[in-house]
Copies of this chain bind each other. A is one copy, B any other.
Amino acid sequence: MRWPEVKPEHYYGSELNRFIAEYCTRRMTCINVDCLLVKNDQKKIRFIEYKHQNEFLPASQLRALKVVQLITSQPLNGWSSRVFVVRGDYPFAEGAEICSINDLKIVKVNRENLIRWLNFEEELNLLVNMV
């Protein structure tokens, strides 16, 4: 017999996620998406998964993000969408690595350019090698 695993508070993100983990099928993937950015005046959205510098991205999570990238890849009514993983440690004095799920290319940005990118002031391809 194993003792039930004690999960720290907030482990599940929401009570629905806890319910799914406890009572629903394991034959699906359930993740939360850290950050959905919506920029109305540019009609752009970004799904962003955040990881600490040395944090592992589970394969199931990467597969889920790739499905989101696929299903959002066609612009609709002028809206377009991209999916990213951002890796770094708050307060991002060392900048961050931004991985586009579209092509799995990784761009290193300094803190200033991270902010400009998050603000939708600059697209990722223009920030390459600007660390």
Report the bound CA distance from A116 to B91 in whole Å: 42
Residue from B32, B72, B118 within 8 A of A33 (CB atoms): B32
Contact assessment for A36 and B77 in the assembled complex, using a CB-CB cutoff below 8 Å = no
For the complex, is A99 an interface residue (Cβ under 8 Å from B)?
Answer: no
For the complex, is A1 an interface residue (Cβ under 8 Å from B)?
Answer: no
The DSSP consensus for interface residues of chain A is mixed
Q: Which residue of B lies closest to A86 (CB)?
A: B16
Interface size on A, residues (CB 8 A): 58
Q: CB-CB contacts of A117-131 with B at 8 A, as 1s and 0s?
A: 011100000000000
Give residues in A with beta carbon < 8 Å to B.
9-10, 13-20, 23-25, 27-41, 45, 47-48, 50, 52, 63-64, 67-68, 70-77, 79-81, 86, 88-92, 115, 118-120
